[in-house]
Amino acid sequence: MSKVRVAIVGLGFGKEFIPIYQKSSDSELVAICQRNKERLNEIGDQFGIENRFTNWEDLLKLDIIDAVHIVTPILDHARMSIAVLESGKHCASTVPMGTTIDELKNIIRAKKKAKKVYMMMETAVYTREFLYVKELVNNGKIGRIQFVRGSHMQDMGLQGWPDYWLGFPPMWYGTHAISPLLCVTSTKPESVICHGSGSINEERTKKYGSPFAVETAVFRMKDSIIVAEATRSLYETTRQYRESFDVYGDKMSFEWEQVADEGHALFEGGESIRRMQAPDTDSLLPPDIAEFTKREQIIDQEHVSFIQGAGHGGSHPHLVKEFISAIAEGRDSEIDAVTAAYWTGAGICAHESAMKNGEKIYIPDFDKV
């Protein structure tokens, strides 16, 4: 099998994937795109990449590209994903899939028409913690799942983020909190009731018309008695950064650590509690990219100025492996367009519910798009 030839658009967070694609025996990184030409050339020189673009539409015209990995600002994800698919190339996109229900449906249609792979690169379902708990579920140790809860708490007002983040509706970027809940229970969301809490300043509110500091949603699942709860905050709520999920079963329960490095909690019956750190997941990967799951930072000896850590719980090489494998095997990815639409659409509908004072909102049936 020939290698899948990949281009990356967006070299902020996107640059972390460069050495993974380069070291994978199944892929070849053939092009990069960055609006800032100086930064583009710096990274291109650093990693020895010849094809460089400041305009992503020009990149799509390059015939040697099989697949494009989009790592750009959120409001660009949908239109860029559709353009990639319409150009006859496979598409991976960082989260979220889009910001409107129509955008999600249009990506599903574009994917079906193109007959190409689409994958939303959701890190939360490939972290060492999630893969550990998913295995506990699969082998029956959790037992019957009774309830799941997720959260993504982050005060972005303190970190100088780009302007498009200003006042962003919390649940529009809710996939990190929502996706583990739906994935671990193997369910799809049917309806949601969400309440906004607190407030953000007037300048931030004006940007998107979203006034809430926090949004908390309760999801009903299709054909399931399990209920899921997810909380998301973006501004003016003080807390250490936290992406978490909790799973409660009738045999065992898992709770994410409250404070970093204090240890997650496993409840194994009665009053028994065990603090633990999830094991590394390098054994689940091909040897050529297994190093990228490690907690320790790795200095790439060929590019000594670049330091590669195991970001997002060691999930990055798993995302690359799944995307490339789906293309090579001619199948849908594990987070294909329909699945991504449910995970993203659940948050879009949750924000709509919050703006309507907790009105119950039914989530579209994306299987019928």
Q: What is the pLDDT of residue 304?
A: 33
3-state SS of the chain: helix, strand, coil percent to 5? 40, 25, 40
**Can you read off the two tokens belonging to residue 102?**
């129509």
In a domain, 287, yes or no: no
Query: Which domain, by its residues, includes 142?
Result: 126-279+344-368
57, 13: one domain: yes
CATH number at residue 87: 3.40.50.720
In a domain, 364, yes or no: yes
Phi, psi for residue 329 in degrees, rounded to 5: -95, -5
191, 262: one domain: yes
103, 18: one domain: yes
24, 89: one domain: yes
**Can you read off the two tokens belonging to residue 346?**
């659940």
215, 328: one domain: no
Q: Where are the beta strands (DSSP E) in the chain?
A: 4-9, 27-33, 51-53, 67-70, 90-93, 118-120, 145-153, 189-197, 214-221, 227-233, 242-249, 253-255, 264-267, 273-276, 298-299, 307-308, 361-362
In a domain, 82, yes or no: yes
Question: ω into residue 286 within 30 of 0, thus cis?
Answer: no
**What's the rounded Cα separation, in Å, for the pair 124 and 133?**
12
**What's the rounded Cα separation, in Å, for the pair 281 and 283?**
5
Instruction: Give the number of other Cβ atoms within 10 Å of residue 268's Cβ.
Output: 12
From the number of C-beta atoms within 10 Å of its C-beta (0-12, 13-18, 19+), residue 133 rates as: buried
DSSP 285: S
Q: What is the pLDDT of residue 311?
A: 75
Q: What is the pLDDT of residue 295?
A: 57
149, 209: one domain: yes
110, 238: one domain: no
Q: Which residue shows structure tokens 């009665």?
A: 270
30, 113: one domain: yes
pTM: 0.95
Q: Please name which of 147, 192, 132, 224 lies closest in space to residue 354, comparing C-alpha atoms.
A: 192
In a domain, 284, yes or no: no
**What's the rounded Cα separation, in Å, for the pair 280 and 91?**
28
213, 236: one domain: yes
Q: Please name which of 98, 366, 363, 99 lies closest in space to residue 218, comparing C-alpha atoms.
A: 363
How many domains does one find in the chain? 2
Q: What is the pLDDT of residue 300?
A: 45
Cα atoms found within 13 Å of the Cα of residue 268, Cβ hemisphere only: 10
Q: Please name which of 343, 356, 9 lies closest in space to residue 181, comparing C-alpha atoms.
A: 343
In a domain, 23, yes or no: yes
Q: Which residue shows structure tokens 């490339």?
A: 324
Q: Which residue shows structure tokens 């095997």?
A: 329
Pairing of strands 118-120, 90-93: parallel
What are residue 232's DSSP bridge partners? Answer: 152, 215
* H helix and E strand count, the chain: 11, 17
In a domain, 293, yes or no: no
In a domain, 274, yes or no: yes
Contact (CB, 8 A) for 89 and 69: no
Q: What is the pLDDT of residue 93?
A: 98
pLDDT tens for the chain, 369 residues: list them.
Answer: 699 999 999 999 999 999 999 999 999 999 999 999 999 999 999 999 999 999 999 999 999 999 999 999 999 999 999 999 999 999 999 999 999 999 999 999 999 999 999 999 999 999 999 999 999 999 999 999 999 999 999 999 876 788 999 999 999 999 999 999 999 999 999 999 999 999 999 999 999 999 999 999 999 999 999 999 999 999 999 999 999 999 999 999 999 999 998 999 999 987 889 999 999 999 999 999 999 987 554 444 443 333 344 579 999 999 999 999 999 999 999 999 999 999 999 999 999 999 999 999 999 999 999
Instruction: Give the number of other Cβ atoms within 10 Å of residue 195's Cβ.
Output: 15
**What's the rounded Cα separation, in Å, for the pair 146 and 142?**
10
CATH number at residue 188: 3.30.360.10
257, 325: one domain: no
In a domain, 310, yes or no: yes
